[in-house]
Chains A and B, each alone.
Chain A
């Protein structure tokens, strides 16, 4: 019988951690996205006109929500797990009868909950700027959960390999942020020249944002089945990789 009390303890600890420091974890996304909606949606968006057959504000809402989910799920796990490594309190888990899959589930679970919590806050803010459409609610919930899981896993791997605080800021700043901004949050890739449109199709975040947008507006630049297969495929690969590294003790044991 697995030690489920340990998993419950770890999840509780992770969720309580980000709730305790809510001005650092929940508030910044609310402020940033309010500014996005105000500047890009209201001020500039009015001049941009329609995008994909919708008001520009309506068009960017799903992408902005998912952007918050991605960055928060990732940063929650990378900062929490790396801090545990740095302060060496991860040893509390390593010496206890807590298997690797449970450590992974506990940290990733914390990241998913924060990602979704921030997503809901940002969705609430967006509702004050525009009327939200919910064309395919189950798709919204599915992409919400899968994307949060995927980036929480990515954050865990980043923390596992990190040896310094620099290492946990390089990937978010120089890889994640460009991919998110170039992933069709603010535009449809149909606006791009053919070459860049094809290049954009190599960006996995594009598929997540479009699948999410499909849930809200019923439109997407890419096929939904393909988007879901890509998201689930990445989750499976990252999860197996993380479990293998935990079993070996990479980044944790000498």
Chain B
């Protein structure tokens, strides 16, 4: 019989009689990190993630995402600021904070000699789960992630996708209320990636709060309800996905044409750029919309066969923010 995720959470957390329910899953206040070499990775960030959220933390390489995750999961010492997880303070209630979090790190970091089953069972043991329950929990997690058949195989013999899924199974060993995934689908083929998305959606539906960092912005757009973008140690955007995408004033599309066009017509408000003789890129302002574009193109005898997004909307917004930040720093 499959045990519901929420029941496992209750089982593992009911040892805390003052366990707060329905609150901020994560709250960062003026979080700052300066490394020994003087590099200031976080410049006093504030961030809130509500319980039950599916939250994206995005940013270019070196922006401070992994430092933030490292501090929250106790792998990096903060310089100053406050961190609380489900109301538990990182400095004063470290044990409760740790029990609340499951971490899927960016790089594979389990013992290459241990089997998949050992890895999950040991991790549960570190959280105080008795071996009998740990074995049962490991079976649940490994089965859910399609690894039960490989449970006795040394982890080094698993494929890249299986290793990624094993890290998720390990992070879920103690049924955390908050699951943090640092680029969980990097290097994973599209089929496995989509099955992982489906599993994460199910976990979230069942009550697990999820924080995700990813370089696949399509992934963030598809999965997450709220988002923060971090760049050079500062939060540059923090809102819900819908509001963020609504801020987009221009979208870019690629149009495939039926016949080659030698001279592109000049269209007021739209910016057309030829890619090859039968393909053009077009920037469409939000206030004009795409319907008017087709009318004008038809008038000029240009017939469109197909249309696709130049890049996904979040990616366009993300690049715009990052480019703006870069321009500001260089000016």
Contacts and interface: CB of A to CB of B under 8 A. Distances in A.
Interface of A: 3, 5-6, 8-10, 12-13, 17, 83-84, 87-89, 91-98, 249, 253-254
Contacts, number: 79
Interface in B104-125: 105, 107, 109-113, 118, 122-123, 125
8 contacts: A5-B129, A9-B125, A87-B111, A91-B75, A96-B98, A96-B127, A97-B94, A253-B75
A5 B130 contact: yes
Contacts of B111: 83-84, 87, 89
Contact of B126 (A9, A84, A253): A9
A173 B170 CA distance: 37
Given A12-B125, A95-B73, A95-B75, 5 more contacts: A5-B125, A9-B131, A83-B111, A87-B112, A97-B128
Given A13-B122, A94-B75, A253-B75, A88 B109 contact: yes
B75 A6 contact: no
Contact of B110 (A3, A12, A89, A96): A89
B156 to A, nearest CB: 10
Q: Which applies to chain A's interface (DSSP): helix, strand, loop or mixed?
A: helix
Interface bracket on B: 20 to 34
B99 interface: yes
A17 B118 CA distance: 11
A93 B126 contact: yes
A97 B139 CA distance: 23
Given A253-B76, A254-B77, A92 B122 contact: yes
Nearest to B110: A89
A6 B109 contact: no
Given A88-B107, A89-B111, A96 B77 contact: no
A96 B105 contact: no
A254 B122 contact: no
A92 B128 contact: no
Contact of B128 (A3, A10, A13): A3
A254 B73 CA distance: 13
B105 A91 contact: yes
B283 to A, nearest CB: 43
A92 B123 contact: yes
A88 B105 CA distance: 10
Interface in B63-98: 70, 73-77, 94-95, 98
A6 B101 CA distance: 17
Given A95-B73, A97-B99, A254-B70, A8 B109 contact: no
Of B35, B109, B113, B122, chain A has the most CB atoms within 10 Å of the CB of B122
A13 B114 CA distance: 10
A93 B110 CA distance: 11
- 3 A-B pairs with least C-beta separation: A9-B125, A96-B126, A88-B109
B141 interface: no
Contacts of B76: 253-254
B196 interface: no
B110 A92 contact: yes
